[in-house]
Amino acid sequence: MLSRHERQVLREIEQFVAEKDPEFAAMLCGDPAQAPRHTRRYQVFAVTAIAGLCTVLLGVLLAEAILMIGGACMALSAWLRVMVMRWADEN
């Protein structure tokens, strides 16, 4: 628990940040429930990309072109989806 003085100092810092950089302050005060959902999507695409790369490796070891192509498509699609999500977040 913060003391009364510490709470006062914290409020002053929050006000200072809100005045100097409103976008940053809004981002910090954003909905905390949104972050895990977004993080979850990145995790799913990371697992998909890793599975695709493993499939490519398996295709190389077994000399199966279909596994190599399929794995490359999986990894590429996961990477492209993450890039699109990042681009959408920036705009």
Rg (CA), the chain: 22
Q: Which residues contact 77 (CB under 8 A, 6 or more apart)?
A: 48, 52
Domain boundaries, the chain: 1-30, 34-91
**Cβ 54 vs Cβ 37: under 8 Å:** no
Cα separation, 70 vs 24, whole angstroms: 42
pLDDT (tens digit per residue) in 27-68 = 777 655 555 666 777 888 889 999 999 999 999 999 999 999
Q: What is the pLDDT of residue 21?
A: 85
Q: What is the pLDDT of residue 44?
A: 86
- Sorting pLDDT into bands at 50, 70 and 90, what band is 14? confident
C-alpha distances in Å from residue 74, one per residue of 39, 44, 51: 20, 12, 8
**Cβ 45 vs Cβ 81: under 8 Å:** yes
**pTM of the full predicted structure?**
0.54
Q: What is the pLDDT of residue 36?
A: 60
